[in-house]
């Protein structure tokens, strides 16, 4: 019984010591005062000693020493002294009274001790439960605490035990893959564990269910479902209070597992909802923004197919050109949508490398040259810019979109500026046009994917506005993914989109000593 | 230039064609392979690997996959070039011409001497001139330029350049390329921010403009 909450051994020794000291002290006093006091008063001293010693001594010792004390008292003080014989009858009554009083004191002590022990046990149990609860709340994965639970239950019950806990949902069949098994079991115990887990009820001795089972099975119950079970290989029934405590520990684990499971379900549901939303917006965009260019292509292509002989060579060329332009437009929009979906999907990683702003801009110029027949593009790159740490393709896509918009929404013949500058806190890449500008109330809306500002194109047909919102939303997403930002300044003289990219500590530059096997130029080559 | 085209709809068919065509002077009876990656019976990359093991037949890869690391991987695996769908026929023909010139019969003549728009590079004599004025290059700059000249018109990946100029230990040092390409452009280009000669293929590598045939 004492295996749970055993008080420290040293305390036990002390209790014996105090008890023994009391008895020795009592006897010394009695021997010292024996000649001055009559037998009745002397007997009172013995009763007092016994009562005081009972505070410390265990019950059996109190009883034993009490009986021994009364007998010794009889031997030493009751006439005739030096024998157990009793001369006077009233002395018999005295001895009986002393004996009975000793018994009563011992019985009271038993009751008191039991009570104190129970209070202590309850306090300790409550304390353990509270610490355990805190511990379970603090961990991310309650499954990590199963080992601790096993240790706690083992020290509580001193028996071998096995735990079974679900990883996620309850499987249809008893599959070990779906659960964590801690400890050793045979087939029967395992099926017992699964039964306990599925039914959420205690099994085994003193539980009212399957009493003949050799072990005690405790479920780890959550609020609604059971998330695990513990099997305690008992050979004799566990005391009720220990069973209750073990069950409480298991239930806390069950609650923690349930909380964790619910959180995971919620996160999954949120992610699905986000993905669903993204998919819906993408579908909406595709159905809306793809229709216009597709209609143009369809129209031009069917004209060429059915009426080519009635069209002049120039008309045919115009139609073919329209098909190529719109196809290019579709291609760009598809790229933007895919990239936006990738960036919006959290966890998309950037492929960063060191890049020179001059080179980024150079590669764009190269790409835009064919479209820029009127030579509208003006490049302004500050010399000696530090290197950027960025995903080249994304930054190119950002500038490509900005340039594309600038060309579309400003009058032919006006300049489009592509600017790279050093700032105090980074490098800015900017595209400035000399178009009509964007009205104040539209300036935020245009960055939302699929909600385009009602732009009035200076030259182009309304068809060409499709996909602008996707493009700008992507530009902003790219800038943000790099830890930078995309800003818009616009007035009646034009609009300027500025992408600020933060700077990183620059990499080590090569020195010529680092380069092995360098080819030396002949003297005449160097001049 | 006109071509005779044999279209294979699967990897198996392509292998059959290559076998049936036989070889001529140790080369297969084809001048060029256009390889689409997604084929019904497998990945086009397996054919690329098989082709590269046997001969130096030029291979142009065509695919709808735009991931740049895949492009780099294919170029490093021996593809001559990479075209992402959709592309124009004009672009395809231009890339085919470049690939043919590089793997063509008169290989050695084309790669040691380079001339385009006032810039002359001679690898044999280590001479670089711009508008008939000699250009002074550091040894590293020259090595880098020479590597691009040998593959003029074709993309050379960052990895290839870093390996060939600095050594295999330097394949992560992309910033070296940024620095030296900047210096080369400053010396050879009229406007380094709008290059006419040394092109950047973002995220992949660099390309020296095709030489003018002269």
Asked if the C-beta of A518 comes within 8 angstroms of chain B's C-beta atoms, the answer is yes
Q: Could you give the CA distance from residue A306 to residue A2 in angstroms, rounded to a whole number?
A: 101
User: What chain B residue is nearest to A361 in terms of C-alpha separation?
Assistant: B193
Chain segment A362-411, per-residue pLDDT in tens: 888 888 877 777 888 999 999 889 999 998 888 998 998 899 888 888 88
Return the DSSP state at B133.
Answer: E
Q: Could you give the CA distance from residue A374 to residue A361 in angstroms, rounded to a whole number?
A: 19
Which secondary-structure segment (H or E) carries A422?
A: strand A416-423
Asked if the C-beta of B68 comes within 8 angstroms of chain A's C-beta atoms, the answer is yes
Q: Is the pLDDT of residue A422 over 90?
A: yes
Q: What is the pLDDT of residue A24?
A: 92
Tell me if B140 and A520 make a contact (CB, 8 A cut-off).
no
DSSP class per residue in A252-290: HHHHHHHHHHHHHHHHHHHHHHHHHHHHHHHHHHHHHHT
Q: Nearest C-alpha of chain A: how many angstroms from B13?
A: 31
Helical H segments across A55-88, by residue range: 59-76
Segment A22-42 mean pLDDT: 88
Lookup: tokens for B68? 């740049």
Q: Nearest C-alpha of chain B: how many angstroms from A176?
A: 38
Q: What is the pLDDT of residue B100?
A: 82
Q: What is this structure's pTM?
A: 0.57
Tell me if A521 and B194 make a contact (CB, 8 A cut-off).
no
Chain segment A56-74, per-residue pLDDT in tens: 888 788 888 888 888 888 8
Q: With beta carbons under 8 A apart, name residues in chain A contacting B179.
A: 509-510
Q: How confident is the model at residue A6 (pLDDT cuts 50, 70, 90)?
A: very low
Q: How confident is the model at residue A255 (pLDDT cuts 50, 70, 90)?
A: very high
Among residues 120-139 of chain B, which lie with CB inside 8 Å of chain A? Answer: 125-128, 134, 136-139
Complex ipTM, two decimals?
Answer: 0.74
Q: How confident is the model at residue A491 (pLDDT cuts 50, 70, 90)?
A: confident
Q: Is the pLDDT of residue A150 over 80?
A: yes
Q: Nearest C-alpha of chain B: how many angstroms from A352?
A: 9
Contact A141, A166 (CB under 8 A): no
Q: What is the pLDDT of residue A411?
A: 86
Report the first-to-last Cα separation within chain A, whole angstroms. Answer: 102
Tell me if B202 and A387 make a contact (CB, 8 A cut-off).
no
Lookup: tokens for A486? 């995309």
Tell me if B134 and A512 make a contact (CB, 8 A cut-off).
no
Instruction: Outline where DSSP puts E strands in chain B.
Output: 23-24, 27-28, 33-36, 38-39, 42-43, 59-63, 81-84, 113-116, 119-122, 127-130, 133-134, 155-157, 198-201, 205-208
Compute the count of residue pairs across chains A and B with CB atoms less than 8 Å apart.
100
Of B139, B166, B175, Cβ closest to residue A520: B139
Q: How confident is the model at residue A93 (pLDDT cuts 50, 70, 90)?
A: confident
Return the DSSP state at A177.
Answer: G
Asked if the C-beta of A359 comes within 8 angstroms of chain B's C-beta atoms, the answer is yes
- Say what percent of chain A tops pLDDT 70: 88
């Amino acid at each position: 019984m004492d295996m749970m909450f055993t008080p420290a051994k040293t305390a036990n020794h002390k209790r014996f010591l105090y008890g023994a000291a009391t008895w020795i002290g009592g006897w010394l006093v009695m021997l010292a005062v024996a000649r001055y006091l009559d037998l009745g008063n002397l007997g009172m001293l013995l009763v007092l000693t016994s009562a005081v010693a009972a505070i410390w001594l265990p019950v059996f010792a109190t009883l034993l020493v009490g009986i021994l004390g009364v007998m010794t008292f009889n031997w030493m003080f009751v006439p005739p002294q030096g024998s157990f014989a009793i001369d006077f009858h009233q002395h018999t009554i005295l001895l009986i009274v002393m004996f009975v009083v000793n018994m009563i004191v011992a019985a009271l002590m038993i009751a008191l001790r039991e009570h104190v022990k129970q209070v202590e046990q309850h306090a300790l149990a409550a304390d353990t439960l509270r610490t355990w609860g805190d511990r379970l709340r603090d961990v991310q994965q309650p499954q990590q605490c199963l080992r601790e639970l096993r240790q706690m239950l083992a020290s509580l019950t001193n028996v071998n035990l096995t735990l079974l806990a679900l990883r996620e949902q309850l499987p249809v069949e008893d599959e070990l893959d779906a659960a964590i098994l801690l400890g050793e079991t045979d087939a029967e115990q395992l099926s017992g564990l699964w039964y306990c887990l599925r039914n959420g009820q205690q099994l085994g001795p003193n539980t009212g269910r399957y009493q003949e089972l050799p072990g005690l099975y405790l479920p780890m119950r959550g609020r609604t479902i059971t998330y695990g079970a513990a099997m305690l290989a008992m050979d004799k029934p566990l005391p009720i209070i220990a069973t209750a405590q073990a069950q409480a520990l298991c239930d806390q684990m069950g609650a923690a597992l349930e909380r964790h499971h619910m959180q995971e379900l919620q996160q999954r549901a949120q992610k699905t909802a986000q993905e669903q939303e993204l998919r819906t917006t993408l579908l909406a965009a595709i159905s809306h923004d793809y229709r216009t260019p597709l209609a143009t292509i369809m129209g031009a292509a069917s004209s060429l197919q059915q009426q080519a002989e009635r069209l002049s060579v120039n008309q045919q060329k115009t139609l073919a050109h329209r098909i190529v332009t719109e196809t290019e437009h579709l291609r760009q929009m598809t790229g933007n949508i895919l990239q936006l979906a990738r960036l919006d999907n959290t966890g998309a990683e950037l492929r960063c490398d060191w890049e020179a702003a001059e080179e980024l801009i150079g590669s764009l110029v190269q790409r835009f040259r064919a479209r820029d027949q009127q030579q509208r593009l003006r490049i302004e790159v500050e010399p000696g810019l530090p290197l950027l740490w960025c995903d080249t393709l994304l930054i190119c896509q950002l500038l490509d979109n900005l340039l594309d918009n600038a060309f579309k929404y400003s009058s032919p013949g006006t300049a489009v500026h592509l600017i790279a500058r050093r700032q105090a806190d980074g490098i800015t890449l900017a595209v400035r046009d000399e178009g009509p500008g964007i009205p104040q109330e539209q300036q935020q809306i245009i960055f939302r994917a699929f909600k385009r500002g009602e732009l009035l194109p200076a030259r182009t047909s309304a068809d060409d506005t499709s996909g602008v919102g996707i493009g700008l939303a992507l530009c902003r997403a790219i800038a943000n993914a790099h830890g930078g930002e995309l800003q818009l300044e616009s007035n009646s003289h034009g609009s300027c989109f500025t992408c600020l990219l933060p700077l990183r500590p620059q990499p080590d530059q090569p020195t010529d000593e680092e380069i092995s096997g360098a080819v030396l130029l002949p003297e005449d080559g160097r001049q | 230039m006109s071509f005779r085209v044999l279209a294979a709809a699967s990897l198996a068919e392509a292998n059959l064609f290559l076998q049936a065509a036989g070889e001529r002077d140790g080369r297969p009876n084809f001048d060029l392979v256009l390889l689409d990656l997604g084929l019904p019976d497998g990945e086009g990359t397996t054919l690329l690997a098989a082709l590269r093991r046997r001969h130096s037949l030029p291979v142009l890869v065509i695919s709808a996959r735009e991931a740049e690391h895949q492009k780099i991987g294919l170029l490093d695996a021996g593809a001559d070039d990479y075209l992402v769908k959709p592309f124009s026929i004009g672009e395809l023909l231009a890339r085919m011409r470049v690939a043919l010139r590089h793997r063509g019969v008169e290989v050695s003549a084309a790669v040691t001497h380079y001339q385009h728009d006032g810039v002359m590079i001679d690898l044999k004599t280590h001479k670089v001139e711009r508008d008939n004025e000699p250009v002074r290059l550091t040894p590293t700059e020259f090595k880098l330029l020479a590597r691009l000249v040998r593959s003029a018109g074709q993309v050379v990946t960052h990895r290839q350049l870093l390996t060939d100029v600095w050594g295999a230990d330097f394949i992560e040092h992309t910033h070296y390329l940024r620095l030296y390409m900047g210096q080369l452009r400053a010396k050879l280009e009229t406007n380094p921010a709008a290059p006419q000669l040394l092109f950047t293929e973002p995220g992949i590598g660099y390309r020296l403009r095709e030489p003018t045939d002269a």
